[in-house]
Structure 1
Amino acid sequence: MKIAYFEPIGGAAGDMLIGSLIDAGGDVDVVKKAVKAVLGDGVEFEVQNVMRGAIKACRVAFRFEAKTKERRLKDVEGLIEGAHLPQTVKQRCAMAFRHLAEAEARVHGKKIEDVVLHETGAEDCIADVVGFFALAEAMQIKLFYCGTVPFGHGYVVCGHGAVPVPPPATVELLKGFAVQFVPEPHEMTTPTAASIIRTVCRPHTPPQMVVERVGYGAGKRERNTTGIPNVLRVTLGSVYVDREPFLWQMEANIDDAEPRILSHAVSKALEMGAQDAWIEPTYGKKGRMGAKLCAIVSQSAMHAVKAVFLEETTTLGVRFWAIRRSVLERFFVEVKTRYGDVVVKVGHDGKRVLNVSVEYESARRLAQSSGVSLKSVVLEGLSAAAAAGIHCGAPVRQPDTSAIRGS
């Protein structure tokens, strides 16, 4: 399964996201075709390599013969729905603009149907969103992650008048994501980029991956005032399956910490490289109820995860010992259901399929965009996988599921 990890080093904008994928090997013609399918032939698309500091990056620019001054959400949704695009691309584009409209509605105290999308409903914003999702689909990227997003300061003038930087809609869209306020007197992250990130990205670093390609997208500004190159980097790769002969299991009994601290410690341990982390209920030596914090780690991550135990919790020590484990081979496929495409994870022993499961984040997004229950998407995904010959006991193969749809 292909993973994309986006790092907004000098900022994040829709054209920077597209540029990074093109620089990583994406097909320019996919972007052109998708944008013209939505906005018609009056679009010119320019791609060039530029320098941003010491880094060569891909600069993308759209030019339009005519522009519409303002649109509402239903207008943008109509353009997307009427275009000849893959269903997954349509769903993601529609969700991105719905996120934008919801953010604007909260900021301005309006109903979503009354929100006017000024800059965010303009041709260049539509082109950025459609171009990005079309290219990501063509490159078969299944999992998206995003690093810390930078915010500048100051003011910008838009259709609503003067607004602070970062724009209020951008802040709304990136709730739950890590951000950093930096001393740059301008907008570093646009609402368009924020809506794309909100729609598909997970707000943390990716799992261990095998790096395959790297790309840099360039922003308009040649250099930030702090000297940070105005680029956004994408790292593409595949999930790394641990082949180590042994791992380490770490444990600590804790009876004097808040549950919130322990929950944070689990998340932090995973972030620092633990293969798995969890909490078990236990009793302390004085009969007090407590918790046992546990983690499985590789040798390379052992020091970092041990530091999490000691720094983030109230424990005074950590137990650890070497363990062995058996791991199934696995691969990921995307199957088509009546609601849209969903990712299925397949575990096998090299000969037979032993486990089939629907990938949670993929199912959650599809359930949200389709307005159905998560359970319905999971059942449809398993049914579509079975129809494709992917079920427990089946011989191992990675089928072409392009023509298969769930019932």
Structure 2
Amino acid sequence: MTTLYFDCFSGISGDMVIGALLDAGADLAQMEEELKKLKIESEYTITQKSVNKNGITAVKFDVNVLNENEHHHHDHSHSHDHDHVHDHDHSHSHDDHDHSHDHHHHHDHRAYKQITDMIKAAGFTEAVTNRSLAIFKKIGEAEGKIHGLPLADVHFHEVGAVDSIIDIIGAAILIDQLGITSIHCSPIPTGSGHIHIDHGTYPVPAPATLEILKGVPIARTSIKGELATPTGAAIAAVLAQSFGTMPSMTVEKIGYGAGTKTFKDHPNVLRVVIGKE
């Protein structure tokens, strides 16, 4: 049994998960090769670099979403994840949104069904496919509930869609690659205060994040700002079999994944611990 423990003392986001798994020894090149099965590699580049967060060396993973004429760097900071879902305009027909069979590389947004069709058509291993679909479903259902939309009508904003697709499927690929058989997670601090998103000023945790974390223990923290993003919350909520302290295991690998923000009093990193139970 190879066990993975997410130690979320500073929250969790999709890029922190991938950074931590890469730091623990997972293979970026193999992940990139697998991600090509999605046939959207013209839409993004990915980078991995070593950063120092309050004295801890960690891997910062970034998805850089490319626009047609410019290289648009979208940072995954814990405050941008909410731009991902936009209520689409009901005044035009839904046919406008059915881009699933065309090859335009720059959609304004992707519908939930297009993303699931893309994952199913890619030919990943069964474990990667199932985990990716389950995580997307968790986010889609939460966003649908908040916006009052059925799952089929939930749309992911372009930059957000590419970010989420790479973070979620990339995480599933790396977990598969590392031969993980069980996943556990600490309680999740969500942060506190308020964030500004397209629709106005929202409390932290944002509504979608809180919806995703139903049934998951949330840890109290005095840190102002958003620590858990919808993507990170969904990865933990869907994949972890239990939430609590670290399970008994012989530790073999440790990885630190950096978040975008830097806090004064603690390192903004996600720690993953991998070992044999």
**1:8 aligned residue:** 8
| Kept after mapping to 2: 8 A contact 1:17/1:132 | yes
Structure 2 Cα separation of the partners of residues 91 and 160 of structure 1: 32
**1:233 aligned residue:** 271
Q: Aligned to 1:229, what secondary structure does the other structure show?
A: coil
Please provide the CA RMSD for this pair: 1.8
| Kept after mapping to 1: 8 A contact 2:186/2:246 | no
**1:344 aligned residue:** none
Length, aligned pairs only:
237
What amino acid does structure 1 have at the position aligned with 2:46?
F
Q: Aligned to 1:141, what secondary structure does the other structure show?
A: coil
Structure 2 Cα separation of the partners of residues 80 and 115 of structure 1: 17
**1:392 aligned residue:** none
Q: 1:136 aligns with which of 165, 169, 175?
A: 175
Q: Kindly tell me: are residues 124 and 157 of structure 1, through their superposed partners in 2, closer, same or farther at Cα, counting changes over 3 Å?
A: same
Structure 1 Cα separation of the partners of residues 259 and 146 of structure 2: 26
Structure 2 Cα separation of the partners of residues 192 and 78 of structure 1: 19
1:214 has 2:214 as partner: no
Q: Kindly tell me: are residues 41 and 70 of structure 1, through their superposed partners in 2, closer, same or farther at Cα, counting changes over 3 Å?
A: closer
1:73 has 2:112 as partner: yes
| Kept after mapping to 1: 8 A contact 2:6/2:272 | yes
1:180 has 2:219 as partner: yes
Q: Kindly tell me: are residues 176 and 119 of structure 1, through their superposed partners in 2, closer, same or farther at Cα, counting changes over 3 Å?
A: farther
Residue 152 (structure 1) shift: 1.5
For residues 39-87 of structure 1, give each alpha carbon's deviation from its aligned partner in whole angstroms, at most 9, with x where no partner exists.
Answer: 5222311111110001000110111223533222101101111213112
Alignment map for 1:125-164 (pairs within 5 Å): 125-164=164-203
**2:45 aligned residue:** 44
**2:126 aligned residue:** 87
What amino acid does structure 1 have at the position aligned with 2:267?
P
For residues 278-314 of structure 1, give each alpha carbon's deviation from its aligned partner in whole angstroms, at most 9, with x where no partner exists.
Answer: xxxxxxxxxxxxxxxxxxxxxxxxxxxxxxxxxxxxx
What amino acid does structure 2 have at the position aligned with 1:70?
H
Ranges in structure 2 where 5+ consecutive residues have no aligned partner: 68-105
Structure 2 Cα separation of the partners of residues 168 and 39 of structure 1: 32
Q: Kindly tell me: are residues 125 and 8 of structure 1, through their superposed partners in 2, closer, same or farther at Cα, counting changes over 3 Å?
A: same
Structure 1 Cα separation of the partners of residues 148 and 10 of structure 2: 32
**2:96 aligned residue:** none
| Kept after mapping to 1: 8 A contact 2:110/2:158 | no
What amino acid does structure 1 have at the position aligned with 2:59?
C
**1:53 aligned residue:** 54
Identical pairs, percent = 34
Residue 33 (structure 1) shift: 1.8
Q: Aligned to 1:211, what secondary structure does the other structure show?
A: strand
Residue 32 (structure 1) shift: 1.2
Ranges in structure 1 where 5+ consecutive residues have no aligned partner: 240-407
**1:98 aligned residue:** 137
Residue 31 (structure 1) shift: 2.1
Please identify, of 98-107 and 132-141, the stretch whose mean Cα deviation from structure 2 is larger. Answer: 98-107
Q: Kindly tell me: are residues 23 and 129 of structure 1, through their superposed partners in 2, closer, same or farther at Cα, counting changes over 3 Å?
A: same
| Kept after mapping to 2: 8 A contact 1:13/1:192 | yes
| Kept after mapping to 1: 8 A contact 2:65/2:159 | no
Structure 2 Cα separation of the partners of residues 155 and 231 of structure 1: 21
Residue 161 (structure 1) shift: 4.4
Structure 1 Cα separation of the partners of residues 64 and 151 of structure 2: 29
Q: Kindly tell me: are residues 36 and 157 of structure 1, through their superposed partners in 2, closer, same or farther at Cα, counting changes over 3 Å?
A: farther
What amino acid does structure 2 have at the position aligned with 1:237?
G
| Kept after mapping to 2: 8 A contact 1:72/1:121 | no
Structure 2 Cα separation of the partners of residues 220 and 83 of structure 1: 30
Q: Aligned to 1:122, what secondary structure does the other structure show?
A: helix
Please identify, of 83-92 and 33-42, the stretch whose mean Cα deviation from structure 2 is larger. Answer: 33-42
Q: 1:193 aligns with which of 210, 216, 232?
A: 232
Alignment map for 1:5-404 (pairs within 5 Å): 5-42=5-42, 43-66=44-67, 67-118=106-157, 122-201=161-240, 202-221=242-261, 223-225=262-264, 227-239=265-277
For residues 236-277 of structure 1, give each alpha carbon's deviation from its aligned partner in whole angstroms, at most 9, with x where no partner exists.
Answer: 0011xxxxxxxxxxxxxxxxxxxxxxxxxxxxxxxxxxxxxx
Structure number having the greater strand percentage = 1
Please identify, of 230-239 and 161-170, the stretch whose mean Cα deviation from structure 2 is larger. Answer: 161-170
Q: Kindly tell me: are residues 36 and 206 of structure 1, through their superposed partners in 2, closer, same or farther at Cα, counting changes over 3 Å?
A: same
Residue 206 (structure 1) shift: 4.6
| Kept after mapping to 2: 8 A contact 1:10/1:224 | no
